[in-house]
């Protein structure tokens, strides 16, 4: 028998910011009966100047904690939900819920509990509006006492619970430990919740509905109207997200990747548009040489020089030990014969600078250590780079023409990415030059 198709649809905060968006969401959900499980965020911004309910909740709990005026913030939150209830004429009252929440604020239930209520309450409203069952994430999404997400136990509970539920709304962003204390993922974490629900029900597709029509090839604040990415692999998404492209939470890829469930990023306001597919393998007709260009500023390069470094066994090991001692992760490790550089995030380096220097001098007895501050990393990602010759030549000549000085090059060993280090000041220019040459 053919397996029944299940789609998990996660809707972001701007897609559920007010009654009008709730109506759009309902239309989308109802247009495909396979959309059996829905994961909502908390109401987001209705306009640029508006406030997200999650931010208001953090504010509210902080005010309550310091004995300040939390009531006026709480009233703003109540009003947001009441407007949705009234406009949609829902037969729901959140009065009792709010009484419990207020009590919890006063007994200092903590910021994670506070923040989670945004999704919790929105889930109750959405379930009522869709006529779906409400499944509280606190029952099925498991964290340990220290707030570390427990994926296997969660998968077990979710699978067990949802296999008995034909259609359900499971709020995103939070879960609970065995004692019932609420824990949240990091900000934007409803994407992660959507992915773990998709895994638990063995969905065919994980739809992630947001307010943009998919991933853009590069940052639109740097390049005017960049093209959209139609499809990419999980690995490419991972590279691009790590390098600064936002849309989807970084951690949302793992649960679906291991099961081979595709992700489809779509626009709630324009469901007719294609969005971006993220799959294990992209289809031949979707192949392009360059998938995306992303980057981040504010790195440093710590370069260590020592005569005859190449002949010393264990030099790199000792160097890495120096960073390990200081609990600092590195990004890249370009090396020459007698020099090796370590690229680190600048803020972390600044915080631990003296201690890192002490460790390096003690363990390595180097001839020189120099620090190059204010570096930016720019990465071009594309599985297609492997098969198109001449890309590297065009890559570097475009940067030369744009007068961008390249401080470091790292071609990933899987050949799906090439990263360069440039001065912070050259960052925008480098991205524009690469986009113009390799994409346009």
Interface with ligand ASP by CB under 6 A: which residues? Answer: 13, 41-42, 52, 54, 118, 172-173, 187-191
Report d(CA 8, CA 217) in Å as an integer. Answer: 25
CA angle centred on 175, ends 174 and 177, rounded to 5°: 140
Output 98 or 395, the one with its CB closest to ligand ASP.
98
Report d(CA 348, CA 354) in Å as an integer. Answer: 12
Q: Are strands 292-305 and 368-381 parallel, antiparallel or unpaired?
A: antiparallel
Q: Which of 240, 137, 132 is nearest to 192 (CA)?
A: 137
φ, ψ dihedrals at 338, nearest 5°: -110, 10
Token digits of residue 240: 């691009």
Sign, CA dihedral 27-33-34-37, equals positive
Output 172 or 292, the one with its CB closest to ligand ASP.
172
φ, ψ dihedrals at 277, nearest 5°: -95, 140
Residue whose CB is nearest to ligand ASP in the complex, by number:
190
Count each helix (H run) and each strand (E run) in the chain, helices first.
14, 15
Output 173 or 323, the one with its CB closest to ligand ASP.
173
Smallest gap from residue 67 Cβ to ligand ASP (A): 26
What is the rounded (10 degree) CA torsion for 360, 365, 368, 371? 0
Output 24 or 45, the one with its CB closest to ligand ASP.
45
Smallest gap from residue 419 Cβ to ligand ASP (A): 28
Output 249 or 423, the one with its CB closest to ligand ASP.
249
Instruction: For residue 339, count CB atoms less than 10 angstroms from its CB and return exposed for 0-12, middle for 13-18, buried for 19 or more.
Output: middle
Output 123 or 172, the one with its CB closest to ligand ASP.
172
**CA 269 to the chain's CA centroid:** 21
φ, ψ dihedrals at 179, nearest 5°: -85, 0
Output 154 or 398, the one with its CB closest to ligand ASP.
154
Smallest gap from residue 254 Cβ to ligand ASP (A): 16
Smallest gap from residue 434 Cβ to ligand ASP (A): 31
Smallest gap from residue 55 Cβ to ligand ASP (A): 7
Output 53 or 439, the one with its CB closest to ligand ASP.
53
Smallest gap from residue 193 Cβ to ligand ASP (A): 8
Report d(CA 391, CA 395) in Å as an integer. Answer: 6
Smallest gap from residue 429 Cβ to ligand ASP (A): 33
Instruction: For residue 52, count CB atoms less than 10 angstroms from its CB and return exposed for 0-12, middle for 13-18, buried for 19 or more.
Output: buried
Smallest gap from residue 210 Cβ to ligand ASP (A): 10
Output 124 or 377, the one with its CB closest to ligand ASP.
124
Output 172 or 366, the one with its CB closest to ligand ASP.
172
* CB contact set of 237 (below 8 Å; sequence gap of 6+): 215, 248, 253, 263, 278
Q: Are strands 205-210 and 7-11 parallel, antiparallel or unpaired?
A: parallel
Smallest gap from residue 188 Cβ to ligand ASP (A): 4
Smallest gap from residue 58 Cβ to ligand ASP (A): 9
């Amino acid at each position: 028998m053919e397996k029944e198709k299940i789609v998990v649809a996660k809707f972001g905060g701007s897609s559920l910011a007010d009654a009008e968006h709730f109506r759009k969401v309902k239309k989308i959900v109802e247009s495909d009966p396979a959309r059996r499980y829905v994961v909502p965020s908390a109401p987001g911004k209705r306009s640029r100047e508006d406030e997200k309910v999650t931010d208001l909740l953090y504010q509210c709990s902080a005010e309550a904690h310091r004995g300040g005026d939390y009531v006026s913030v709480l009233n703003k939150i109540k009003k947001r939900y009441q407007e949705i209830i009234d406009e949609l004429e829902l037969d729901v009252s959140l009065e009792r819920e709010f009484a419990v929440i207020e009590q919890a604020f006063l007994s200092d239930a903590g910021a994670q509990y506070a923040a989670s209520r945004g999704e919790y309450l929105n889930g109750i409203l959405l379930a009522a509006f869709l006529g779906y069952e409400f499944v509280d994430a606190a029952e099925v999404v498991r964290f340990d006492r220290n707030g570390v997400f427990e994926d296997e136990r969660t998968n077990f509970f979710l699978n067990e619970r949802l296999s008995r539920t034909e259609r359900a709304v499971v709020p995103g962003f939070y879960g609970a430990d065995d004692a019932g204390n609420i824990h949240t993922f990091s900000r934007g974490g409803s994407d992660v919740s959507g992915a773990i629900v998709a895994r638990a029900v063995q969905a065919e597709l994980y739809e992630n509905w947001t307010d943009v029509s998919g991933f853009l090839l590069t940052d639109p604040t740097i390049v005017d109207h960049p093209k959209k990415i139609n499809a990419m692999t999980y690995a490419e998404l991972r590279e691009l997200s790590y390098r600064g492209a936002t849309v989807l939470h970084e951690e949302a890829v793992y649960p679906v990747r291991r099961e081979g469930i595709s992700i489809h990023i779509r626009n709630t306001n324009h469901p007719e548009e294609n969005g971006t597919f993220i799959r294990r393998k992209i289809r031949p007709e979707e192949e392009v040489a360059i998938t995306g260009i992303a980057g981040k500023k504010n790195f440093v390069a710590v370069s260590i020089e020592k005569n005859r470094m190449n002949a010393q066994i264990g030099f790199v090991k000792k160097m890495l030990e120096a960073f390990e001692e200081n609990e600092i992760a590195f990004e890249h490790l370009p090396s020459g014969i007698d020099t090796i550089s370590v690229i680190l995030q600048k803020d972390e380096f600044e915080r631990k600078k003296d201690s890192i220097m002490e460790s390096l001098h003690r363990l390595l007895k180097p001839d020189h250590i120099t620090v190059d501050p204010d570096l930016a990393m720019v990465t071009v990602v594309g599985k297609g780079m492997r098969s198109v010759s001449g890309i590297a030549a065009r890559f570097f000549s475009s940067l030369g023409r744009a007068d961008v000085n390249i401080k470091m090059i790292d071609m990933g060993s899987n050949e799906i990415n090439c990263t360069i280090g440039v001065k912070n000041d050259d960052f925008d220019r480098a991205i524009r030059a690469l986009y113009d040459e390799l994409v346009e």
